[in-house]
Chain A
Amino acid sequence: MREYDIVVIGGGLAGLMAAAAATKRGKKVTVLSLGSGTLTIGGGIVDVMGYLEGGIPAATPSAGLLQVGDKHPYKMIGRPAIEESIRFFKEICEQEGYSYIGNLDKMQWIPTAAGTLKPTCLVPKTMDTTELKKADKVIVLGFDALKDFYPSLIAKNFKKIPAFAQKEYEVVMIDPKLSEGRDVTALDVARWLDTEDGLASCIEKMRNVVPSGSVVIIPPVLGTRPNYLVKEKLEQALGCTFVETASVPPSITGLRLRTMLVRYLKKNGVRIVEQAIVAKSIVEENNCMAVITEGVDRERTYYAKSFILANGGFYGGGLLAEPGKVIEPIFNLPVEAPTDHELWANYSLFSSEAQPFAKLGLDVDEKMRPVDADGKVILNNVFVAGRNLRGYDFSFEKSGNGVAIASGYQAAMSV
């Protein structure tokens, strides 16, 4: 029987990081994935902890970590492992030629396509705001026909932000001549810049409107591949600094990150099975022997010594909501939730409080093993990572990819 050391269930950031850390430890790993995860939706930047209870911004990610509640995954993982996980993530990025900048002791406030700033911890070099902060004059560059990026809105809203109010903004537009066919998204522009001809043509158009020495805010279009070639070539040719904003899906920065991590895993011998719908498990005396996928044809059984459960929350299918209860479908692990499901939601959508449903999830010990209400370990060789963990509303507090990286890493190190 083929047996792996570790089967990772889920191919999102938590699962990919768990697989990476496990491989680094010399383990033989299989990833069972369904869909391509939410990285391509969610921005490709690593938030660790942006806002505290009540919507108060944390001074630094580190300061935020000190103030999380008892049930927060960070509490279980602990500061040393969080630090190591961030270091490990940055090491992979560096090694793969797509390094990320930032650290736990500094909050990075990055521009968004709505003309606001959002707090985060690690960003690709295309989102480095060092020069932007220093600049007196900023160019906001848009592309004709590009949806979801309106430079004048950005310029207008930046004027309302104290740290950015004193700067002068100039809006310029480039016509990528992509209007034929479908609506233009940042992905189309990024693909245009992936090509030599597109890049050369873009440089020519920019020359006329972007003076040398400018700091230029642009949508995330600096190539679809996990490297900095497009950024470097543009900056060299024009003598400018380009800063990508966070934007709406499809996320180009997320696509780059996912491409890079999958490539890293495959290079390191990780087997990735796509379209694998894990439905059941075989458990004997608190140990999982195997998990079972169901396809449209038949079930397939995957044996391993340990399992990492990183198949997401309600969106990813790792947790299922039913009236009055939450179900974890593969191991039937307990999820504590109010039986009155009216209490799951904070009906004031943009309030300064987190969503209660977002905090529903699995309880774990410091090794990320699932525990019952008394804190007793339920499964000795199953480790939980990512969005199915209890105690955090990633969207509210801006901690999603941070929890994914830290918990994925911790799960793999605990095996």
Chain B
Amino acid sequence: MKKHHNNPDSCTACTVCVANCPVTAATRKFRGPKMVGPTLERMRLSQDDIEPSLEYCTNCKNCDMSCPSGVPISTLNMLARAKHFKNRKRSLRDWILSHGEKMAKLSAATPGMANLGMKMSRGILKKIGISNKAPLPPYASKSFSKLFKNLKQTSYPDKVVFYPGCFINYNDPQVGMDFVAVMQANKFEVIIEEDFVCCGSPLVVNGFLDEAEENAKKNIAVLKKWTDKGYPIITCCTSCGLMLKQEYQELFHIEGVEEYAKHLYDAGEFLLDLHDQGRLNTNFGTLNEKYMYHAPCHLRAQGMGLPGVELLALIPGLDVQDADAGCCGISGNYGFKEDKYDISMEIGSGLFKTIKESGRDTVVSECGTCRLQIGHGANVKTLHPMTLVRKSYEAFHK
């Protein structure tokens, strides 16, 4: 398997990453991936030197994707950010945005109250640096794990473990429920593991690397336990997937990632593999509907193409058009920040324009925060591909 290697000297300073960086295109305040990443990394290896514009990197990974020399530029940036914040006091804003899981657990008792509180306190949030225009996601009245507990699944010998991630668990549980329904339609039983914690992506982007590593250790132990038994692990969130399989390897030195990563799948990819093996339930009902599709950057970075698009192409009548208009700009919690909101919207402006011009009122995308941003920026409805797959299976029986 490809061993990970963070070598800034592989950079030939060709600047392809600069041409492909959406942040560089949106603001002149960012000195660009080449300079902030590998070039300054050579300095940082010998001295503690912070580049102020490092804060503008969103970790969207378009630089890594464009690099002809395989330099993990965005990861160099995240490591440098963590090093900078290691012994410094953090803002309340960054703490709140990085600890979505903790915040969700605090609010879990009364999500309705929490949502009301959030609406009322947008002014307060703005004061601490969270934009009052940003599309902060409300909490669901019941979390995915609660809904799942009340769900009666048919038991099958084939089982998969589902890693829901914070967004599906606390904000958008219906995606998880749709996924379970799709797996059941394919004669798989879904296992939920209560010991999973946040993948750490929101922590990493704000420099809370030590906490992210603690989460990684917990998740790695649980993931490995299941894959050692031969169970595949499936995610519906592409940023969780990227973190669990790739960024853990790039950021930390923890044993075991390589072994379980072989068995970690994006939901769309898993179903396409079933199709290759001739065992996908292809009783798809016709859906005479038109959608736009947005490929999350963190899906593109995974080297498996666009499985969601290929999967949806199997559904009769369905017309899904890839917007192919670059990054949406949200990058997890980047676009929630008061001082980054405008940059985030500028990054997404090309995508929003493409979507609006298409005249289609709903956009399909795997990533939860991409969906938030697109709904906000293009004023459209959004869906996860699994929702459409479930709908098609149900249409078959009508």
Let me know if A181 is at the binding interface, CB within 8 A.
yes
| Smallest beta-carbon distance A259→chain B, Å | 10
B124 at interface by CB-CB < 8 Å: no
Cα-based distance from A315 to B32 in the complex (angstroms): 23
Write the chain A residue with the least CB distance to B257: A296
Interface check B317, CB cutoff 8 A: no
Apart from A41-B15, A294-B1, 8 more pairs, CB < 8 Å: A35-B65, A38-B16, A181-B30, A182-B32, A185-B15, A271-B310, A275-B301, A295-B303
* Interface residue? B225 (CB, 8 A): no
B300 at the interface (CB under 8 A from A): yes
Q: Please determine whether B67 and A266 come into contact, CB atoms closer than 8 angstroms.
A: no
Q: Do A40 and B16 touch across chains, with their CB atoms under 8 A apart?
A: yes
A275 engages B2 (CB within 8 Å): no
User: Across the interface, which residues of B come within 8 angstroms of A334, CB to CB?
Assistant: none
Let me know if A250 is at the binding interface, CB within 8 A. Answer: yes
A297 & B261 in contact (Cβ 8 Å cutoff): yes
Q: Is B387 an interface residue (CB 8 A)?
A: no
B109 within 8 A of A: no
Query: Which listed residue (B18, B272, B324) contacts A187, Cβ 8 A?
Result: B18
Closest to A182 in B: B31
* Residues of the B chain whose Cβ atoms lie less than 8 Å from the Cβ of A273: 303-305
Question: A-B contact count, CB below 8 Å?
Answer: 124
Sort chain B's interface into a size bin: 35 or more
Q: CB-CB < 8 A to A191: which residues of B?
A: 25
Of A41, A275, A300, most buried by chain B (CB within 10 Å of CB) is A275
A36 touches B16 (CB 8 A): yes
Q: Which residues of B contact A297 (CB under 8 A)?
A: 1, 245-246, 261-262, 264, 302
Q: Are A296 and B305 also in contact (CB < 8 A) when A2-B276, A36-B16, A249-B15 are? A: no
Supply 27 A–B pairs (Cβ within 8 Å), ascending by A: A34-B68, A34-B70, A35-B70, A36-B16, A36-B20, A41-B14, A41-B15, A41-B68, A181-B28, A182-B30, A187-B18, A187-B19, A188-B28, A249-B15, A249-B16, A271-B305, A271-B306, A273-B304, A274-B300, A275-B65, A279-B2, A295-B302, A296-B245, A296-B249, A296-B261, A297-B264, A300-B304
Does B66 lie at the interface of the complex (its beta carbon under 8 Å from any beta carbon of A)? yes
Is chain A's binding surface mostly helix, strand, loop or mixed?
loop
A181 touches B31 (CB 8 A): yes
- Given A41, A183, A295, A300, which contacts B16 in the complex, CB threshold below 8 Å? A41
- What residue in chain B is nearest A298 (Cβ atoms)? B262
Considering only CB atoms and an 8 Å cut-off, how many residues of chain A contact the other chain? 43
Given contacts A182-B30, A273-B304, A274-B303, contact A250 B68 (CB under 8 A): no
Bound complex: CA of A297 vs CA of B264, how far in Å?
A: 8
A361 interface hit (Cβ, 8 Å): no
Query: Is B245 in contact with A40, judged by CB distance below 8 angstroms?
Result: no
Nearest A-chain residue to B246, judged by Cβ: A296
Q: Does A163 contact B (CB under 8 A)?
A: no
5 nearest A-B residue pairs (beta carbon): A181-B28, A275-B303, A35-B68, A273-B305, A297-B261
